[in-house]
Amino acid sequence: MNDSHSTFPALPGNDWPVFQLGWVWLAGAGPGDPGLLTLHALNALRQADVIVYDALVQSAILDWAPQAEQIYAGKRGGKPSAKQRDISLHLVELARAGKRVLRLKGGDPFVFGRGGEEGQTLVQHGVPIRIIPGISAGIGGLAYAGIPVTHRDVNQSVTFVTGHDQTGDTPSSLNWKAIADGAQVLVIYMGMKHVDRIARALLEAGRDPSEPAAVVTSATTPDQHVLETTLGTMAADIAEANLQPPSILCIGRSVLMRQALDWQSMAQGFEPRNDDPLGRGRPAEAS
């Protein structure tokens, strides 16, 4: 066991897994804010010999693993998938060299993150794996924008969609008519590039152009930006605002909840209260 592991704070009832040599742990880093990392991911960071990370993993998170070799394996959307095989085989190689390999991905590794493909290749090559789920941008990113992905009076289901497939095109396997008919609230990953096409497909299939929509870019990071719009105008509004990826698109009435729950904007004019009878009002001063 290495030192960094033994200093990991013990939490009652949890035996922190020991990273064994020759294993690959596939972990989600959450949508951006380092505080949204899971404790299992932190435990992994502290023990890893090598970290293979993606474009959307914030550098502050990697700073928690100064002992580890850090290898960038970023792919930004739409590139041919040949490189994916190289990444998977590189992971196999590193594991066979006897390293503790942390494969760190943005959000959750199994949500539009190719974690399944990498896991499969590793298992096929006899490399043992552990999966560490993360907070996906389509849930946590929207929460930071004050949009609850479900809300009892609004929706009883939510549909997660990717805006492009391996070729970089809108996925041909998607039945937009069925999505338009069935999805109460739609959360679209990688949707900005083809937002024009996506919005048109939904409108042609009968969705209402005045339906509320939101675009959240760089969610949970200091660069987070939220645009509130409608299905009918979102493509034009995105172009006009010159929004840059990564972005999550949300279409549906849950966007309206932002009026009540936009907690980040509220916090700016928020007068902290210190009238908690137990004196827990203001943690910054308490310490």
Q: Tell me the C-alpha distance between 223 and 199, whole Å.
A: 25
We find the least distance from the C-beta atom of residue 32 to ligand SAH, in angstroms, to be 4
Our finding on whether 45 is near ligand SAH (CB under 6 A) is no
Residue count (the chain)? 287
- Region from 90-98, 110-118, 153-161, 236-244 binding ligand SAH, contact rule CB under 6 A: 110-118
> Taking Cα atoms as reference points, which of 92, 141, 91, 86 lies closest to residue 112?
141
Look up 190 and say whether it is catalytic. yes
What string marks each residue from 191 to 220 as x (binds ligand SAH by CB under 6 A) or -? Answer: -------------------------xxxxx
Q: Is the dihedral of CA 49, 54, 217, 189 positive or negative?
A: negative
Residues 225-254 that bind ligand SAH (CB under 6 A): 245-248
What span, in angstroms and rounded, lies between the C-alpha atoms of 230 and 232?
5
Confirm or reject binding of residue 185 to ligand SAH (CB under 6 A): no
Q: Is 119 in the site for ligand SAH (CB under 6 A)?
A: no
* Residues 146 and 258 sit within 8 Å (Cβ to Cβ): yes
Distance, CA of 2 to CA of 17 (rounded, Å): 12
Nearest-angstrom CA–CA distance, 47 and 12: 20
The verdict on whether 108 is a catalytic residue reads no
Classify residue 35 by its DSSP letter.
G
Secondary structure (3-state) at 281: coil
Binding residue for ligand SAH, selected from 42, 56, 61, 202, defined by CB under 6 A: 56
Helix (H) or strand (E) holding 75: none
112 touches ligand SAH (CB under 6 A): yes
To the query of whether residue 153 is one of the catalytic residues in this protein, the response is no
Indicate which single residue of 113, 133, 212, 252 sits in contact with ligand SAH (rule: CB under 6 A).
113
By CB under 6 A, residue 106 contacts ligand SAH: yes
User: Which residues are tagged catalytic?
Assistant: 54, 75, 190
Q: Which residues bind ligand SAH (CB under 6 A)?
A: 31-32, 56, 77, 105-108, 111-113, 136-137, 141, 189-190, 216-221, 245-248
